[in-house]
Structure 1
Amino acid sequence: MPKNRYYAGPVSDNFDGLRFFSPGQPLPDRGLREVWAWQRSGQRAKWPREVPVAPTVPPARSEAPRLTMVGHASVLIQVAGLNLLTDPVWSQRASPLSFAGPKRVTAPGIAFDALPEIDAVLLSHNHYDHLDLATLRRLHRAHAPLMVMPLGTDATVRRAIRGARVAVGDWHDRIALGEHVSVALTPANHWSSRGLGDRRMALWCGHWLDTPAGQIWFAGDTGYGDGAIFRDIRARHGTPDVALIPIGAYAPRWFMRNQHVGPDEAVQIFRDVEARQALGIHWGTFQLTDEPREEPVQLLAEALGEAGIAAERFRAFAPGDVHAEG
């Protein structure tokens, strides 16, 4: 019998005793034959080796929401006097290996040494392009932030970082970050794995921030499915002032559809949660899939036009970009 190496807990509506799943949604699992068929298709676009970035130096603190793009799914969120990082990756590769695997083509939009004091890190799942232990070790040494993550993800962090401050939750659990600031873990249609034989043994999630200055939602990695989880997020939490929604790593669609949305589905998520403003993440830093680097930006513009949504309400967030409210 396989054994879950990350989590031991009771059967629930998203855990069958061995693996996590998204109730009522298609499984994103792919077998070796499908992986091989994708890899030998020869459809991968050629990305540039490097794209110039003008790094930003953020302020020490901000009461009004201020978001700065680091790259991929790494965003500095400054709000209500707190400094938060989503899925921080400052490493050169999104990989368990330092010499192989997807290499970043954009430098971080904030130099690591230019970071303000970090109060908390919000982790969505344990894939290498989201949970980077080298970066988490650096953050722990420099800032000792609280690290918030879904069930089972903590096993990887605790083993690697002695003394890490860790808070763990299931979907819909709420964790306090400050006197008037909390984060709720939201569902996503995705999966997890750090190696072979551990698929879906740790949970994945998004993060909904409730603050006196507004609501910010980091969607994490997700497929669209039937859209039910996004409509439920809207019903449970209201409408976000700012939503961080992935727009890249979607091609080929036959392989990626159940795990990563494309720009058209990202726009549908934007509409489902009725966000006031959205920022497109998860594109242009690491080449994980087949689409050309700039295609997510182009397709996002087309999808917004077809939906009759003003382009400024949902823009692709590039390293060094800043979105400031108030």
Structure 2
Amino acid sequence: MKRRTLLKTLSVPALAATGVLGWMSAARATNRYYQGPATDHFDGVRFFSPNQPQDKGFMELLRWQLGGGRKEWPESFPSPFRDKPPADVQGLRTVLIGHASFLIQVAGLNILIDPVFSERASPVSFSGPKRVNPPGIAFEDLPPIHGVLITHNHYDHLDIDALGRLWQRHRPRFVAPLGNDAIIQAEHPEIGVETRDWGGSVELGNGVIAHLEPAYHWSARGINDRRMALWCAFVLTTPQGTIYHIGDTGFGDGRIFHAARERFGKIHLAHLPIGAYEPRWFMEPQHMNPEDAVKVFQIVAPNQALGHHWGTFRLTNEGIEEPPHELAVAVRAAEIPPDRFRPLRPGEAWTPSG
């Protein structure tokens, strides 16, 4: 079967939502986003996670997409929550907007992580993974935004249109891993983006510092830019405690989680992804399942963990309510009090008091 015909069969926008189209990249290429010296996770053209599996091949992609086992999702899965956040929070408040998009309000700052407000997580507006619930905070109800943090460039995490709207309305600071500035500025050259490598940090003000930390993932926006922009997790050190936010990651050998605990000490709050994990043989290197997320919880030992990356966009094979059900099983097996690690729904807020 020719590749062009196969792409129509495999639903290009759905694959592009998580960057799966990157398998078409040439073995060697010129990096269009970033030029810099080789490091232990950059070979001069592409970024990689040291000692971790990297790219799936075309035949593996074909096996997944044509192998069946994809469970149906409802057309609508409304959340019982809808949030209108206050303009200013001196303590700590975090809200899931949907999927992996969060509003963190801490020490008087309002910080968005991976804000996606579009109807589809896709490079096109007419096809691809479509929301089954609206954003838990309406764009018009956002408080003044001081900072926007981007973990990586997959379409379910980097919404170019939303970033442009945020710039026009709020003029926030933008922070992202290496190479993502070129992607954003190709559409919005007026936006300044502060980029850092793993281990770098940006002071956001009021005692809040955003640290870019490793994740076991990858990146792509299209058919020939696989791993040309870096990906990351964020650790926010704040006057209200340390917040560990992971956008996407596999568990891998677990080293990065031990390293985060060693570097930052006690974690107050962890945002841990729990969805988009089936079939396991394909997704394990890049997406944790609930059992993996519980292992991360046991390593970093946060006071509170909140599960995200489920229930808004159908990206993989599992059913829409499987992630919270499987999380409950894993939490119970690990003898963790259920309230210490619970999944959030869009619009659901958490504060240290409850």
Once the two structures are TM-superposed, the CA of residue 239 in structure 1 deviates from its matched residue by 2.2
Indicate the residue corresponding to 2:57 in structure 1.
31
Percent identical across equivalent pairs? 52
Say whether 1:302 aligns with 2:329: yes
Say whether 1:200 aligns with 2:227: yes
User: 1-side partners of 2:120 and 2:265: how far apart?
Assistant: 36
Helix, strand or coil: the match of 2:272? strand
Equivalent runs, 1:107-122 vs 2, <5 Å:
107-122=134-149
User: 1-side partners of 2:169 and 2:77: how far apart?
Assistant: 28
Say whether 1:50 aligns with 2:72: no
User: 1-side partners of 2:214 and 2:341: how far apart?
Assistant: 22
User: 1-side partners of 2:87 and 2:203: how far apart?
Assistant: 21
User: 2-side partners of 1:158 and 1:21: how far apart?
Assistant: 23
User: 1-side partners of 2:29 and 2:124: how far apart?
Assistant: 26
Equivalent runs, 1:207-222 vs 2, <5 Å:
207-222=234-249
Select which of 288, 294, 310 maps to 2:315.
288
- Give CA-to-partner distance per residue, 1:64-83, whole Å, 9 cap, x none: 11011100010100000000
Moved more, 162-171 or 201-210: 162-171
User: 2-side partners of 1:200 and 1:88: how far apart?
Assistant: 21
Aligned-residue CA RMSD (Å):
0.9
Indicate the residue corresponding to 1:312 in structure 2.
339
Once the two structures are TM-superposed, the CA of residue 26 in structure 1 deviates from its matched residue by 2.0
- Give CA-to-partner distance per residue, 1:111-143, whole Å, 9 cap, x none: 110000000011000001000101111111111
Say whether 1:128 aligns with 2:155: yes
Equivalent runs, 1:134-145 vs 2, <5 Å:
134-145=161-172
Indicate the residue corresponding to 1:171 in structure 2.
198
Q: What amino acid sits opposite 1:140 in the alignment?
A: W
Indicate the residue corresponding to 1:106 in structure 2.
133
- Give CA-to-partner distance per residue, 1:284-319, whole Å, 9 cap, x none: 000000000000000000000100000000000110
Say if 2:147 and 2:204, in contact at 8 Å, map to a contact too: yes
Say if 1:192 and 1:200, in contact at 8 Å, map to a contact too: yes
Say if 2:108 and 2:206, in contact at 8 Å, map to a contact too: no
Say if 1:102 and 1:288, in contact at 8 Å, map to a contact too: yes
Q: Segments of 4+ in structure 1 off by > 2 A? A: none
Moved more, 114-123 or 173-182: 173-182
Say if 1:144 and 1:165, in contact at 8 Å, map to a contact too: no
User: 2-side partners of 1:61 and 1:282: how far apart?
Assistant: 26
Helix, strand or coil: the match of 1:47? coil
Indicate the residue corresponding to 2:287 in structure 1.
260
User: 1-side partners of 2:273 and 2:99: how far apart?
Assistant: 9
Moved more, 172-181 or 90-99: 172-181
User: 1-side partners of 2:57 and 2:266: how far apart?
Assistant: 37
Helix, strand or coil: the match of 2:205? coil
Say whether 1:153 aligns with 2:176: no
Once the two structures are TM-superposed, the CA of residue 150 in structure 1 deviates from its matched residue by 0.1
- Give CA-to-partner distance per residue, 1:91-119, whole Å, 9 cap, x none: 00000000011001011000110000000
Moved more, 53-62 or 224-233: 53-62
Say if 1:145 and 1:165, in contact at 8 Å, map to a contact too: no
Helix, strand or coil: the match of 1:271? helix
User: 1-side partners of 2:188 and 2:274: how far apart?
Assistant: 31
Aligned length: 325
- Give CA-to-partner distance per residue, 1:137-163, whole Å, 9 cap, x none: 111111111111000111101111122
User: 2-side partners of 1:134 and 1:114: how far apart?
Assistant: 17
Indicate the residue corresponding to 2:211 in structure 1.
184
Once the two structures are TM-superposed, the CA of residue 221 in structure 1 deviates from its matched residue by 0.5
Once the two structures are TM-superposed, the CA of residue 171 in structure 1 deviates from its matched residue by 0.5
Say whether 1:15 aligns with 2:42: yes
Helix, strand or coil: the match of 1:177? strand
- Give CA-to-partner distance per residue, 1:33-78, whole Å, 9 cap, x none: 1111111112111111011233110000101110111000101000
Say whether 1:6 aligns with 2:29: no
Helix, strand or coil: the match of 2:326? helix
Indicate the residue corresponding to 1:273 in structure 2.
300
Structure 1: runs of 5 or more not aligned: none
Q: What amino acid sits opposite 2:183 in the alignment?
A: T
Q: What amino acid sits opposite 2:211 in the alignment?
A: A
Helix, strand or coil: the match of 2:306? strand
Indicate the residue corresponding to 1:247 in structure 2.
274
Helix, strand or coil: the match of 1:184? strand
Say if 1:220 and 1:246, in contact at 8 Å, map to a contact too: yes
Once the two structures are TM-superposed, the CA of residue 276 in structure 1 deviates from its matched residue by 1.1
Structure 2: runs of 5 or more not aligned: 1-27
